[in-house]
Structure 1
Amino acid sequence: MAGEYKTLARLFHADRSHDAFINHNRLATSRLEADSTFRTGIRTPLGELFIAMPRQMSITIERILVDERTISRMWHDIPGVMRWDYIRHGISEELLATNTMEGVRSTRKEVEAAIDAARKTDTGTATVSKRHGNAAKKPRFMEFAKLYLGLSDTQARFPQTLEAIRDIYDKVALDEIPADSKPDGELFRLRDVGILGPHGDCIHTGVSGENRISVMLSEMINLVDSDTMPALVSAIAAHFLFEYVHPFYDGNGRTGRYLLALSLKRVLTLPTVLSLSRIIAENKEAYYKAFTETEDKLNCGELTSFVLTILRLIGVAQRELIDELGIKLDQLAKAKIQCGTMQDTFNLSRNATTILFQIMQEQLFGPRTTVSLEEAANHLRLSKQSARKYVAELSRHHLIDFTHRRPLRCKASETVIRNLEGLPPRSAVKESATAQSAGPRSA
């Protein structure tokens, strides 16, 4: 790629002169001490961690911030009740993606149940069912889901203490960790740990000793809170540091990516943050390669290339999000028009039209694509018995289909969905196919 920023290691290997080592040391010192460089003051066997600011970095950061304005504008155009459905779907995708990356088996049904349970505990609507005198077991990943739900809280902050980091780890990963891999120190691991690559070779050794782990994680907290470098840069640098330290035997990836989401939330919109793990999972080779290349001792602790890689992944997430939201908003506008047309065509009551629009919004933004009688009643601020007659009105005109009877749940009918997606009615498609197969008639 023309103008691509080259790491110190790549430049060293490209230098065929007898002065390669001298040139390498001179360039490393020059990058570290440049006025535009952000120095962390964090010293590792790789060298002091630092981030240079090449023009690619400035351009990429500016593009991200501009795209965030677009996403923020589009996000506020989505009806408030539908934002929750979109967030719920985003959290579901985030948990599935990060579990997949770490080899943790999870199903969409499990994850969605965890999100629902987490939300109920947050809103105080959870009920404790008992069987044989024991409280019902909480769903898998519920605490993990609760953390991601907390990202929507404007007061959510990056952990300020080592104990808070351990608390996050317990909620994110501890229940899924085998007994012999749980932390054995006061907060973190005591023994050394090696990370194996795809071919069984050790590609990384975590920091040795709990005391040193604690010191470096304290430096990580200070780095995130630093006001001497851009928040995007410090968040990504802190993510590298957490994974480099590797404070636990297992579960570091899931914990580290949640901490990354928490630190990025200061700068980026929630939809962008919630789409990042999926993009990382889809580009995991580039993601893991960024770690291994950065840890090359010839790079002398420079994190520039690593930061650029994560920034580019954020950019990919944003572009996909802008495309997706654009389609959804266009469909939402068409759904509103379609509801008005159906109201006139079938002489629908106002409440029936309102429920139909609610169902169509769920079709566009929701993870289930169905609406319960209770949800319809709450939306209308009526009792379930009163709402039932408006649901029946929609059913009578074949505008909805029932997916469950107890409890009652419904979805948009195939006709409504095809209209929403800009497709002709299925009957018209069949008639067209029949006409084509019959061929032209003779006079």
Structure 2
Amino acid sequence: MLEYKLLEKFKYGTGTQSLSDEEIEKEYQNRINGYSTRVTNIYPYLINRNKISSNHYPLFIVETVKINELFNEIQTESKNIEKIATNLPGIAQSGYINSLLQNEIFFTNEIEGVKTNKEEIGTIIGDSVSKKRNKRRRLESTIRRYQAALAKKDIRIEKLEDIRKLYDDLLNGELADDDLPDGKLFRNSKVYIGGETEIIFNPPANEDLISIQLTKLIELMNDDSINFLERAFITHFVFENTHPFRDGNGRMGRYLLSSYLSKKLDQFTALSISSAIHIEVQKYYRIFKDADNIFNRADLTIFITEMAKTVLNGQRRVSENLLIRKELLDYNWNHLNNRFDDLTENEKTVLNIFLQSKLFSNDDSTGVQDREIISFLNNTDHKRFPRNTVKDAISYLEERNIIQKIKSAPLQHILLDEYIEKEFNR
């Protein structure tokens, strides 16, 4: 199978002499008019060698065999992740989801050079579980918006105002006043993307041009005849290419991608996006730069291919990590069950939950709280686990120095590290 190349690389042919302009034009026409090509009515802004941008070419994708293979692999891996997760106990599942959410928020900010603290993020996630409400804190709106997307309560984007509402909700309190939109909905001033000495890209110059681009994008986003993965990746590119806001475009763009995938795939996949991008961040920047290059004439084939590979790599890391943690859970539970064979069955059940939390949470900030244990067991079997029974079991485990209290409001205990063996011979 021949490697698909963007026109900028294709022009060099197989020898030392570049192809002529006529040969490049012929190849472009073959691609854009091919049977397996999807041509959209979106004309992204592309930059030339003189750093001037224009939008003369329609965005298109050649739906290659490789793209179709990757899309199938992503859906298959999503089912595999769901199968693995189904075999995990409830607290292990929720603990790992919270850990992925913590990573997603941390790395989407890290990609933008916005410094955050994982423990701070985890604490807000934990407070949302306990329904605790303090004064608004940094990142709280971002976390709530991701949780809404996972719960399928996200806003359906049908008009331009919906994009602005999502943006406001996602980044409430995260932006300086000077970075807020200066137009009715979007920015109305010219910006450029790049460093201090080099312009990398010029997006649309004002709100009217931005609105034209996003109106066409909304139409595509709601076109169910297009594969949902293709729509998700196109949306991610076009939003970034349009750059509708003065700040926060990268975080908003990755949120849209995560939200899109949460509707069609498993939660674990949706929350592995920014982590996967962060690992391959230089490739991420490169495929955007190539897609923005006017010589490639709005060909998004390689962008779609590489984004699909990134998502799939993220999924595979999740699958592997879940299996490893499940193996650790089984191994350590066998060890603890034998070591504390004098505990009652109810006390062992509570101990097992603390073990799940220890192994499936990133850190104590995303670990299980006492009230969650009480609620979980009471809802599972309220006759066997009335609230006082669970509280008594927690107190007894603390008296035995098997667990220790780390927080009072909300009350939280953790299993002591000395009882965990995190490495073992397979």
TM over 0.5: yes
When residues 57 and 46 of structure 1 are mapped into structure 2, their CA distance, relative to the original with a 3 A threshold, is farther
C-alpha displacement of 1:341:
2.5
One-letter amino acid of the counterpart of residue 67, structure 2: M
Alignment of 1:390 with 2:393, yes or no, is yes
When residues 84 and 372 of structure 1 are mapped into structure 2, their CA distance, relative to the original with a 3 A threshold, is closer
Gaps of 5+ in 2: 45-54, 379-384
Name the residue aligned to 1:272: 269
Q: Contact 2:155 / 2:166 at 8 angstroms: preserved in 1?
A: no
Q: Trace 1:187-198 onto structure 2 (pairs within 5 A).
A: 187-197=185-195
C-alpha displacement of 1:303:
0.3
Q: How many Å separate the matches in 2 of 1:196 and 1:190?
A: 19
Which range is displaced more, 316-325 or 52-61? 52-61
Q: How many Å separate the matches in 2 of 1:305 and 1:415?
A: 49
Q: How many Å separate the matches in 1 of 2:264 and 2:113?
A: 30
Q: Contact 2:41 / 2:58 at 8 angstroms: preserved in 1?
A: yes
Q: How many Å separate the matches in 1 of 2:418 and 2:16?
A: 69
Which protein is bigger by CA-based radius of gyration? 1
Alignment of 1:57 with 2:67, yes or no, is yes
When residues 359 and 126 of structure 1 are mapped into structure 2, their CA distance, relative to the original with a 3 A threshold, is closer
Name the residue aligned to 2:170: 172
Alignment of 1:211 with 2:216, yes or no, is no
Name the residue aligned to 2:382: none
Deviations 1:147-191 (A, max 9, x none): 110122235354222111111111223522222221111100111
> What secondary structure is seen at the aligned counterpart in 1 of 2:116?
coil
Q: How many Å separate the matches in 1 of 2:410 and 2:179?
A: 43
Q: How many Å separate the matches in 1 of 2:91 and 2:101?
A: 16
When residues 265 and 391 of structure 1 are mapped into structure 2, their CA distance, relative to the original with a 3 A threshold, is closer
Name the residue aligned to 2:150: 152
Deviations 1:32-75 (A, max 9, x none): 01011111122241511000022221222222222122111112
C-alpha displacement of 1:351:
1.7
Q: How many Å separate the matches in 1 of 2:419 and 2:18?
A: 73
Name the residue aligned to 1:427: none
Count of matched residue pairs = 406
Q: How many Å separate the matches in 1 of 2:19 and 2:416?
A: 74
Q: How many Å separate the matches in 1 of 2:24 and 2:327?
A: 54
Q: Contact 2:357 / 2:368 at 8 angstroms: preserved in 1?
A: yes
C-alpha displacement of 1:410:
2.9
Q: Contact 1:31 / 1:52 at 8 angstroms: preserved in 2?
A: yes
> What secondary structure is seen at the aligned counterpart in 2 of 1:105?
coil
Gaps of 5+ in 1: 128-135, 424-443
Q: How many Å separate the matches in 2 of 1:294 and 1:226?
A: 22
Deviations 1:213-270 (A, max 9, x none): 1121111112122233211111101111001100011110001110111122233211
One-letter amino acid of the counterpart of residue 192, structure 2: G
C-alpha displacement of 1:109:
2.6
When residues 3 and 323 of structure 1 are mapped into structure 2, their CA distance, relative to the original with a 3 A threshold, is farther
Q: How many Å separate the matches in 1 of 2:313 and 2:410?
A: 40
* 1:137 maps to which of 115, 119, 135: 135
Name the residue aligned to 1:416: 419
Q: How many Å separate the matches in 2 of 1:214 and 1:406?
A: 47
> What secondary structure is seen at the aligned counterpart in 1 of 2:190?
coil
Alignment of 1:353 with 2:351, yes or no, is no
Structure of greater relative contact order (alpha carbons < 8 Å, 6+ residues apart) = 2
RMSD in angstroms over aligned alpha carbons? 2.5
